[in-house]
Amino acid sequence: MTVNENYQMAKKSYEKWGIDVTDVLAKLKKIPISIHCWQGDDVTGFEVNQNELSGGIEVTGDYPGKATTPEELRRDIEMALSLIPGKHRINLHAIYAETDGEFVERDQLKPEHFKKWVDWAKEHGLGLDFNPTLFSHDKASDGLTLAHPDPSIRKFWIDHCIASRKIGEYFGKELGTPCLTNIWIPDGYKDTPSDRLTPRQRLKDSLDEIYAVEIDEKYNLDAVESKVFGIGSESYVVGSHEFYYGYALKNNKLCLMDTGHYHPTETVSNKISSMLLFSDQLALHVSRPVRWDSDHVVTLDDELKEIAIEIVRNDALNKVIIGLDFFDASINRVAAWTIGTRNMLKALLYGMLMPHDHLKQLQESGNFTERLALQEELKTYPFGAIWDYYCEQMDVPEQENWLKNIKKYEEEVLVKREAE
């Protein structure tokens, strides 16, 4: 049977529940995923004086073909985008500035250092998001930045974050779509702290100073990202979920949840509905933790599907900004982008093909037997046939056929980088 024939049969399975599959695919087409650039170069960046990766971040593996220049990285992203249906965004870190061989300290970064990224984004119709880089730097070597007891070090990072927000505003103005500028810091202590409050007070004061600089929200959206622990901050992290959620609510900022930044028994999917009651918008960094925040490539696992279901069933597709955050150097990096982003889109499609109103009615009426039965039966409904049709309509390979493109690109481009 052809892709279209399979689609037509699958379509009928969902239509009996009142689901307009054509409308679902039209909506899916409009959902942008913010794809992180740092999968392509192992979070190295392009600073003139590069520092070793730090901040509790670890990239393992040495698969051939790592991007070592901005041009290579952009070319790799283009390759991944050609295999992913829809129109998406690219998420940059400050360390991906292009300074033409001149050393520019992070607190001195300006929009002009990202002009090539903006020109490229315009050419390909992409939005850009941004992150100040508060790791892999001499002034972050002791694991403290915005919460540092040294005022001069705090000031350096405050100025870097202010500069980053201005860069985000520049992205928004140039590209006609707001940039999400997200602050994550590694600050914390390896062992039990004797004072939890003072570092958090310093972080609050630093954020207040950063956000005192007015940036047009039409062009830039501010977000703060929490973490439960990291390498070197196993016992205490200054920017906890409670800290940042309280700060975001009080100061009208977005709270960004990274799916790998919570205790193993916590799930981001379970937090979304509560947070939507009190926040107009949320942001996500979708990753895959394996026992800790290991940032594995996103797979179509239960939690990913549950995150998507929560977004869809709560009518929050326009309220939750979805970004990705993983890095794996043990496999083809372009394939990693492709696998992770396609899986995020598959999860959203899976959630959009469920009869949520009917399931809600079953719960409200106390019919838990039918609710459970239907939830389980829907797991084996033919949503894969709908996905294949969507890929075909979006002119990208369906099923595993995209791997042929990856293998060819590896042979013609990636492997040759190793020989140069």
pTM of the model: 0.96
pLDDT, residue 48, reads 86
Got the DSSP string for 132-181?
---SSSGGGTTS-STT-SSHHHHHHHHHHHHHHHHHHHHHHHHHTS-EEE
Give the tens place of pLDDT for each residue, 360-376.
Answer: 999 999 999 999 999 99
CA dist., res. 43 & res. 374, Å (int)? 43
Mean pLDDT of 381-402: 97
- The pLDDT value given to residue 62: 86
Residues 16-29, mean pLDDT to the nearest whole number: 97
pLDDT digits (tens, 9 = 90+) for 208-221: 999 999 999 999 99
Contact predicate 244/292, CB 8 Å = no
CA dihedral 195, 198, 201, 206 (to 10 degrees): -120
**Contact indicator for 241, 226 with CB cutoff of 8 Å:** yes
> In angstroms, rounded to a whole number, what is the distance separating the alpha carbons of residues 200 and 290?
28
Query: What was the pLDDT predicted at 53?
Result: 65
Average pLDDT over residues 331-339: 97
> What b/e string do you get for 73-107 counting C-beta neighbours within 10 Å, with b at 16 or more?
bbebbebbbebbbbbbbbbbbbbbbbeeeeebebb
Question: For residue 419, what pLDDT is reported?
Answer: 62
Report the distance separating Cα 310 and Cα 286, nearest Å: 14
Per-residue pLDDT tens digits for 219-246: 999 999 999 988 888 899 999 999 999 9
pLDDT at 237: 96
Residue range 170-196: mean pLDDT, rounded: 97
The beta strands (E) that lie in 263-326 are given as 282-286, 320-324
d(C-alpha 314, C-alpha 352), whole Å = 11
Distance (Å, whole) CA 109 – CA 157: 12
Q: What is the sign, positive or negative, of the torsion defined by CA atoms of 264, 266, 272, 277?
A: negative
pLDDT at 410 over 90: yes
Six-digit token string for 330: 């043990």
Per-residue pLDDT, 339? 98
Helix 383-393 to helix 333-352 angle (10° resolution) is: 120
Domain boundaries, the chain: 1-30+360-420, 33-352
Q: What is the pLDDT of residue 49?
A: 81
Residue 36 burial (CB count, 10 A): 28
| pLDDT reported for residue 188 | 96
Percent of the chain with pLDDT over 70: 98
Q: What are the DSSP calls for 234-278, one per residue?
A: SSEESS-HHHHHHHHHHHT-EEEEETTSS-TT--HHHHHHHHHTT
pLDDT digits (tens, 9 = 90+) for 26-61: 999 999 999 999 999 989 999 988 777 666 666 777
H/E element, 49: none
**Does residue 24 contact residue 13 with C-beta atoms inside 8 Å?**
no
127: alpha, beta or left? (left if phi > 0; alpha if psi -120 to 50) = beta
Closest CA to 229 of 195, 256, 273, 192: 192
Catalytic residue numbers? 184, 225, 227, 258, 261, 285, 293, 295, 325
> pLDDT tens digit string along 256-310?
999 999 998 899 999 999 999 999 999 999 999 998 888 999 999 999 999 999 9
**Using an 8 Å Cβ cutoff, are 98 and 70 in contact?**
yes
- Residue 230, pLDDT score: 83
The two beta strands, 236-237 and 188-189, are antiparallel
In sequence order, which residues have a C-beta less than 8 Å from that of residue 142 and are 6 or more positions away? 148
State both tokens at 100: 């033409």
- CATH top-level class of 33-352: alpha beta
